[in-house]
Amino acid sequence: MYKVFVNDKPLFLTNEVQKETDFQIFLLESIDIKKLIIKMFQNKIQKAFLYHPDEKLIMKTLKAKIPVVKAGGGLVFNAKGEVLFIFRNGKWDLPKGGTEKKETIEETAIREVEEETGVTGLKISHRIAKTYHVFKRNGRYKLKQTYWFEMKTKFDGIPEGQIEEGIEKVAWVKPEDIPTLLENSYENIKLLFEKEKMNV
């Protein structure tokens, strides 16, 4: 099963029909994805399931219905074990951004973290997960597929937010302070911390 977030509401892609009643279920093959997305952005639908019988074809079927943008991002730890967060659009987030031509996804992730925060000396430890969310740009809905990597750095300077990307603050956050901060973050970001099974 995949989770795609639309306006921070979950859209589950599944090959199993659940016996619940608090959501709507649609057939992925025949759904008008744009109409569904609009309803979720308008808060008319809070959560929905898209059903497809073949699990291997679920994501491929969705991607055939909506343009896909690839991005890379980082869950960055410094030498003190603090995590690097950025603050923009009124929420705490992790640095990430779209790929450029001829870049590997790892190169994208490192470049974006450096550009958005000014933090350098990044080394990737491992890939954490892929997350999916729908956003609107120039009047069109797109699916952002973000590859997240855990990174380490010995950087001890002062991080600086990329103003042209609307980043108001960059902060190193102690692990014990992360749960409070996640209360004002995105569902995809919360998922990463669950996947990492961090003690937050």
Averaged pLDDT score across all residues of the chain: 93
Q: Which two tokens stand for residue 67?
A: 């343009």
Q: Which candidate, 6, 167, 144, 177, places its Cα nearest to that of 91?
A: 167
Eight-state DSSP code of residue 60: H
| Both tokens assigned to 112 | 């974006």
**Model confidence band, residue 197 (pLDDT cutoffs 50, 70, 90):** low
Residue range 97-130, pLDDT digits in tens: 999 999 999 999 999 999 999 999 999 999 999 9
Mean pLDDT within 27-52: 94
SS3 content of the chain, % helix, strand, coil (to 5): 25, 40, 35
Say yes or no to pLDDT of 150 above 70. Answer: yes
Rg over alpha carbons for the chain, rounded to the nearest Å, is 18
- Tens-place pLDDT, residues 63-85: 999 999 999 999 999 999 999 99
Domains recognised in the chain with CATH numbers:
2-63 (no CATH), 68-195 (3.90.79.10)
Amino acid, single-letter form, for residue 83: V
Cα–Cα dist 114/155, whole Å: 11
Residue 137, strand partner residues: 140
Q: How far apart are the first and last CA of the chain?
A: 25
Q: What one-character-per-residue DSSP string does 119-178 give? A: ----EEEEEEEEEEEEEEETTEEEEEEEEEEEEE----S-----GGGT--EEEEE-GGGH
Q: What is the pLDDT of residue 21?
A: 63
